[in-house]
């Protein structure tokens, strides 16, 4: 993809987008889909809480795809709920600013 950008067949932004790897500790916000760091607790762009779930037994942070806590073997219970911060107005493409 980088070679295509050098030849002018695509943009460098597009090359970076299609060749990105998630190994750098970033994830997508579940609401606005912008990149957020794995240790962030709220999206800085849309104010959605980024709670990925915590173990009910040992309180360690869990990945949303995990079915069990790898530290204490407790069944993972994900709510899947992502909420805007209290006091922050909801925002999105369908809402007026």
Instruction: Look at the pTM and tell me if it is higher than 0.75.
Output: no
46 vs 85: CA distance, rounded Å? 9
Q: What is the pLDDT of residue 21?
A: 52
pLDDT score, position 58: 92
Residues of the chain with pLDDT under 50: 22-23, 80-92, 95, 97
Give domain limits for the chain: 2-37
The pLDDT of residue 24 is 57
Residue with tokens 């295509």: 4
- For the chain, the maximum distance between any two Cα atoms, rounded to a whole number of angstroms, is 55
């Amino acid at each position: 993809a980088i070679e295509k950008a050098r030849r002018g067949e695509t943009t460098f932004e597009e090359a970076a987008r299609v060749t990105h790897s998630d190994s750098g500790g970033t994830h997508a916000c579940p609401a606005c889909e912008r990149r957020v760091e794995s240790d962030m607790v709220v999206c800085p762009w849309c104010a959605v809480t980024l709670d990925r779930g915590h173990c009910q037994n040992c309180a360690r942070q869990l990945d949303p795809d995990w079915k069990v806590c790898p530290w204490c073997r407790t069944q993972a219970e994900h709510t899947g709920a992502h909420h805007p911060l209290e006091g922050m107005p909801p925002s999105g493409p369908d809402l007026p600013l």
